[in-house]
Structure formats: C-alpha cells, structure tokens
Amino acid sequence: MARQARIALALGLAAGIFTTGAFGATTVDGAAIGNEQDTSNWLSYGRTYSEQRYSPLDQINEKTVAGLKADWALELPTDRTLLATPIVVDGVMYISGSYSVVRAVDAKSGKVLWTYDPKTLEVAGDRQRIFWDSNRGVAFWKGKVFVATGDGRLNAIDAKTGKEVWSAVTIDPKLPMYINGAPRVFRDKVIIGNGGTEVGANRGYVTAYDTETGKQAWRFYIVPGNPADGFEDDTQAMAAKTWTGEWWKHGGGGNAWNGFTYDPEFNRIYIGTGNGSPWNRKIRSPGGGDNLFLCSIVALDADTGKYVWHYQTTPGESWDYNSNMDMVLADLTLKGKPVKALLHAPKNGFFYVIDRATGKLLSAEKFGKVDWADHIDLTTGRPVERKGARYEDGQELVWPSPFGVHNWHAMSFNPNTGLVYIPVTELPGLFTDKGVDPKLWQSPNFSIDPGVEFARDDIPVNAGTGALLAWDPVKQKPAWRVPQAGVWNGGTLTTAGNLVLEGNATGKLVAYRATTGDALWTFDAGLGISAPPVTYTVDGKQHIAVLVGWGGAGPSVGGSLLAQHGWSYKAQPRRLLSFSLEGNASLPAMPPPSFAKPLKQEDFKVDEMLAQQGNVLWTKHCVLCHGAGAVSGGYAPDLRASTIPLYDAALQDVVVNGSRQTAGMPRFHEFSAGDLKALQHYIRREARR
C-alpha cells in the first residue's frame, strides 16, 4: 500500500498537481499514515502513527539551519488561541484555529483555499462557560478532514471543497464536557474523547465513528457507572472494584482530552486517560482505591473498543496528575533485547517505558522536580508515595502543580539520537481542602470546583521554571537540558538534520542541535508560541511551519507567572508561518509586548467582605479565562485594567445580558446585582495589589 501511495504521489508530480498547489493524489489511509519514510506530507497529529514527530528530512540541518528564513505569513485576524499541529497532504495544509474553524492553505503561497466554520458558539449555549476557543488539530482520512468542536461535535469535511459531509454529536448537551483535542483515524474509524473533570459530574469516555457515515462504531467508558444500572461489561465490573463510596454521583472523570496513539502492529488504540472528577479522592472515592482507569494508559482493540491491558501511572490520583500526555511508539534495545516500547511522560513527572505487547512497566524515573512519590517500584509497578502528599491534614505543598512536569505540548523522539525532547515545567502546587466536607460537597454544574482549592490567588512571576529536556529513555537519564524564560512552552519537532525545533513562551522559534542542545537558529515571532512546528516538502524542498497564537490552560489560568511575557489579550495578531532555506519574505513587525495597567480608582472603597465573596464567584466562574488573582495570562481581557467593571450597567450588559457572547465572553444570566457588586469589589481589590 505504501508503494502504491508513492506511485500515486509520483503520478501526481508528473501531472503537475503539486506545482499548481491543487489537491493532490495521495490516498491517506493506514499505510500512508504508518509510512515513516514519507517526508513530503505530515498526515497525522504526531506525523505518523508512532507519534514520534520525527522527520527523516535533512535539507534543513545543523549546518544549513542558519539560513532558514520565512517564506510567507498567513495573518489570522479573527483567531486568538492557536495550538494545532497542521496536517499537510500533497502541498495543502489543514489547520484548525479558534472555535474549531478549519482552513485549507496552499503550502506554497500561504493562500487560504477554503474555510470551514462549525459555528461553535452558536451551538454551544451555556457550554461556552467551560471551554476555551482552543483546538489542537484535525485528522485526515481518504479525502475527508475531521475536526472536533468545543460544544461536543465531531464533524467530517470534504478535503477538496471544505463542505461538511457529516456531523456527530459526541456529548449529550446536558453533560458538562467539551472537546479541544485532535481526533485520530485508523481502519475507517475516527476516534475522539472529551474533557471536563473540573466543571461537573463527569464520566469520561472515548467514541469511535465510521469515517464514511459518522455512525458510532463503539464507545469505551473510562470509569465505571452506577452499579445499580448494571455494568456495560466485565471490564467495567473489574474497574468498579477499585472504587469506594458513591463515586458515580460525581462522575469519576478519567476524560481523555488529548493523547491517543494507534498501534498498527497490534491493531490497538492506546488511550491516555484523565484525572478524577473531582480531583480530591476523599470526596470521589472516600474509602480509597486505585480508581481505574483514571490516569492510565488503556490499550483497546481498535476494531471493537474492547479492553486489552492498562497501566495506571497515578493510582487513586488526587492532584490532577492525568495521563493525557502523548504516547510515543519506539523500538528500543533494552539490556540487549529489542523491545516494542511505549514512551510516556505524564503530568506526574515520571518518564515511563512500557512494553506495549503486554502493558508491563519496564522502567520509570523522575524527569523533573517531583515529590508526591519517591520512586516507582518496578516489581509492583506502583509509586511509593510520600506521606502527607495526599494533603491528609488538609493542606500540602506538592511538586508538581496541576500543570504537571509535562503537559499536552507534544514531545518528540529521534531514532538517530535515541533521545526524547520534552517541554518541562517545574512548579509546585498548594493543595488545600480545609473547610471542604466530603459528605456535603456537591459537583459543580458548568462551573469550576475540583474539590480542592484551585487558582484562588495570583500565581507569582517566580513560582516556577521551564526547560527543554532531552531525555534518554534507555538510560532513563537526561542527556541535556536548556533552561527557558517561561513555563508554558510549545511542543517539539525533531529531524534527521540533527535538529530539534520548538517555539516558546517568549515568542522565539528555536532550532537546537539534537545531540547537544546548542541553539543554532532563532526566529522572533513576536508572540508566545504554544503550538508545535511541523516539516514537509513542497516541490521537493523542505519547509517548516508553525502556528503562532499563545494559548491553552497556562494563558487561560494566567496569574503573573503567565502575564509576564506581555501577550495581552488581542495585543498581537495571530499567524501561520512557513520557513525554508529559500525564504525571502519580510514580515510586518509585531506590536511589542504590552502589560495591563490596573485602574486603581482611589475613590472606590473596597469592602473586604464583598471582595471575598467576589473571589469565590471569580474562582468558580471567571478564573479559567480571566486569570488567577484577576491577572490575565492573555486569553481574555485583564479586568483590572478594564473600565467595564467600574459601571454597574456596563458590567450587567456584558456579564448578565451577554452582549459580548459572540466575541467569546459567556453569558451568566443567573447573576444577581449582588453578585456583580461582589465581583466589582474583588476586581478593585486585586487591581490595587
């Protein structure tokens, strides 16, 4: 099949399809996505099924990279957050942007060929409160593009015309879940999960659909439901034995919002599962228990969705240490023996090497500052936890924070260097559940409450650090480490040119020597980069592309730590950038970093009681977009600097009447005049800090 695909490609070249930039001849099927040697395209989220994000291209290499220049920039004036991995098929790039708008772009010229708008906000209604505008990318299969929407649809689009072919509702409109992840495709099926463990009673699942028709093929629940309703199968009954109390009332969680890896060798799909709903196990499963399949890698039969094996990274999790991070397939030699390995670096800070034939753990070591557990016992496969880490007494400072040592920003694996390139964050979390009565606690409903205090106050500038880490998965040791100026840096790409490319929080796209970490080339994009770069060829010449559009949970949760870079709401335009060795574009300068100037309003007398009430409302309803301590990380306006909260009527108009709903500001129709007053006092108090 791979050969056929290549012949088709050659025919396409002969017919001049590529030079005209029209839609080409590659049949994007399992053989094509599994073909590690194809360098012209980037067909899947992690490039190929292995999710290695390694390209055999080497025209741009450690010697030539100094000459890398911009070819073109596509301005995206209506976009805010850009996190997606572009998919490239026969010289056409498919990108998803804010609110899951998809564009097909001519990779040669940067011209938009079509735009598909799923009208996410029109469908979302109140669900708008719980998701951001972000989308991590599309999938491609046999002439169709697949995109998931924040409101919970999975849509198929004709790749040539941009017209919708089918739309499947994957989330019951009553349920407090959303989607911002990229689907994956295999054997005429497309799979998607969901997110939402902080915003309501939530039972996570993944669903596979027929790529032609959109008909559901199978669904797998990640946590068991109410035993009184009967379990779906033996796997659910087995999982239920690891839960206590009445977990189903709180959903349980486990939502798979990011990592999925299809393994063609075993015809399995690996699901990286989420944390608990709520995070606090004292509430979720009061008698303890591992709570399967939270924070696990679950291997399912790709045809049936039936359970094959699992490995749980954080049994009985209590810190939001989910395993939603990417899972990379690699052939390693361990102690002289070839191993079909799965590599995984989840939030909890341990790097896992797993035998993917059996699901057996082979090794696990800390790859950053971690103190919730001392080590992983290789005989039991379980973490040896530190006493106190579960905030048994009601409060504990624990490394890492809920952001994790590694988040969704993809890592890459270079088979030549044998190294994995991981964006890491070192930041502690203060876990407090003082005053929370597990018996009285109730799940939120489209608002935020993880059962433990979360982002109640500002996050100081010096709270944490970030780095690019090159990790040797065989030795389970760092090879090199480059400190970075921010904690929220983009995913990585690695190539046969002995390069690692990464965009970072300070707005630089940097090429490093893959073996040593020496910085060889830097481009200042003028805005924090959160998306990972990709590489491919156009007319046989190597290109690199990246979306520039600061976003994700970091900039949304904000605080001074994320605000320090100056990527204020809408201050800098969003772009798609393309680079090559022959690039000669001169791009318009970006507006400089800008910082919110809080309005002090000395004549406003802050009532401390009201400000505290406002703080509670803020943490439940506003913090996920406007930032911790009312300090915006750039996702939404910094309300300390906004005049709107100064005027009752203006605030009422925006918050209660929903006058900015189509611009991304949800409506809170149930808010009373007293609620708004409390928010005003809270915002003014924070403005004077």
552 within 8 A of 408, measured Cβ to Cβ:
yes
Part in contact with ligand HEC (CB under 6 A); list of ranges 95-103, 159-167, 323-331, 632-640 = 632-640
Which string of x and - marks every residue 580-619 that binds ligand HEC (by CB under 6 A)? ----------------------------------------
Part in contact with ligand HEC (CB under 6 A); list of ranges 89-97, 346-354, 514-522, 642-650 = 642-650
Please, which residue, 499 or 599, has the CB nearer to ligand HEC?
A: 599
Please tell me whether residue 549 binds ligand HEC under the rule CB under 6 A.
no
List CB contacts of 121: < 8 A, sequence separation 6 or more: 99, 128, 661, 662, 664
Say how far apart CA 624 and CA 620 lie, in whole Å.
9
Please tell me whether residue 342 binds ligand HEC under the rule CB under 6 A.
no
Q: How far apart are the first and last CA of the chain?
A: 63
Part in contact with ligand HEC (CB under 6 A); list of ranges 56-64, 201-209, 277-285, 659-667 = 659-667
Say how far apart CA 216 and CA 237 lie, in whole Å.
23
212 within 8 A of 226, measured Cβ to Cβ:
no
Please, which residue, 312 or 556, has the CB nearer to ligand HEC?
A: 556
Q: What angle do CA 347, 353, 358 make, to 5 degrees?
A: 115
Please tell me whether residue 134 binds ligand HEC under the rule CB under 6 A.
no
The distance of closest approach from Cβ of residue 200 to ligand HEC in the complex, given in angstroms and rounded to an integer, is: 14
Omega into 278 within 30° of 0, i.e. cis? yes
Return the residue of 389, 420, 639, 687 that touches ligand HEC, per CB under 6 A.
639
Return the residue of 468, 482, 655, 678 that touches ligand HEC, per CB under 6 A.
655
Say how far apart CA 477 and CA 502 lie, in whole Å.
21
Q: Which position has the token pair 């009061």?
A: 286
Please tell me whether residue 665 binds ligand HEC under the rule CB under 6 A.
yes
Size of the residue set binding ligand HEC (CB under 6 A)? 22
Return the residue of 384, 461, 663, 673 that touches ligand HEC, per CB under 6 A.
663
Catalytic residue among 38, 106, 320, 638: 320
Part in contact with ligand HEC (CB under 6 A); list of ranges 178-186, 340-348, 464-472, 661-669 = 661-669
List CB contacts of 649: < 8 A, sequence separation 6 or more: none
Please tell me whether residue 254 binds ligand HEC under the rule CB under 6 A.
no
525 within 8 A of 507, measured Cβ to Cβ:
yes
Return the residues of window 669-688 that contact ligand HEC according to CB under 6 A.
Answer: 679
Say how far apart CA 402 and CA 227 lie, in whole Å.
30
Please, which residue, 124 or 353, has the CB nearer to ligand HEC?
A: 124
Omega into 118 within 30° of 0, i.e. cis? no
Return the residue of 622, 628, 631, 687 that touches ligand HEC, per CB under 6 A.
622
List CB contacts of 681: < 8 A, sequence separation 6 or more: 606, 607, 610, 611, 613, 614
Q: Which position has the token pair 């209506």?
A: 78
Nearest alpha-carbon partner for 660 in 678, 642, 677: 642
Please tell me whether residue 150 binds ligand HEC under the rule CB under 6 A.
no
Say how far apart CA 215 and CA 22 lie, in whole Å.
30
Please, which residue, 80 or 508, has the CB nearer to ligand HEC?
A: 80
The distance of closest approach from Cβ of residue 641 to ligand HEC in the complex, given in angstroms and rounded to an integer, is: 8
Both tokens assigned to 434: 């003082």
Please tell me whether residue 645 binds ligand HEC under the rule CB under 6 A.
yes
Task: Please return the burial class of 331, using the count of CB atoms within 10 Å of its CB with bins 0-12, 13-18 and 19+.
Answer: exposed
Return the residue of 510, 625, 628, 678 that touches ligand HEC, per CB under 6 A.
625
37 within 8 A of 20, measured Cβ to Cβ:
no
Return the residue of 68, 624, 628, 630 that touches ligand HEC, per CB under 6 A.
624
- Does residue 326 carry a catalytic annotation? no
Please tell me whether residue 156 binds ligand HEC under the rule CB under 6 A.
no
618 within 8 A of 555, measured Cβ to Cβ:
no
Q: CA–CA distance from 677 to each of 457, 649, 655 (Å)?
A: 19, 11, 12
Please, which residue, 166 or 671, has the CB nearer to ligand HEC?
A: 671
The distance of closest approach from Cβ of residue 130 to ligand HEC in the complex, given in angstroms and rounded to an integer, is: 7
211 within 8 A of 189, measured Cβ to Cβ:
yes
The distance of closest approach from Cβ of residue 234 to ligand HEC in the complex, given in angstroms and rounded to an integer, is: 40
Say how far apart CA 6 and CA 131 lie, in whole Å.
41
Return the residue of 654, 678, 682, 686 that touches ligand HEC, per CB under 6 A.
654
Part in contact with ligand HEC (CB under 6 A); list of ranges 302-310, 392-400, 479-487, 623-631 = 623-631
Active site residues: 320
Interacting residues with ligand HEC (CB under 6 A): 129, 621-622, 624-626, 636-637, 639, 642, 644-645, 651, 654-655, 660, 663-666, 668, 679
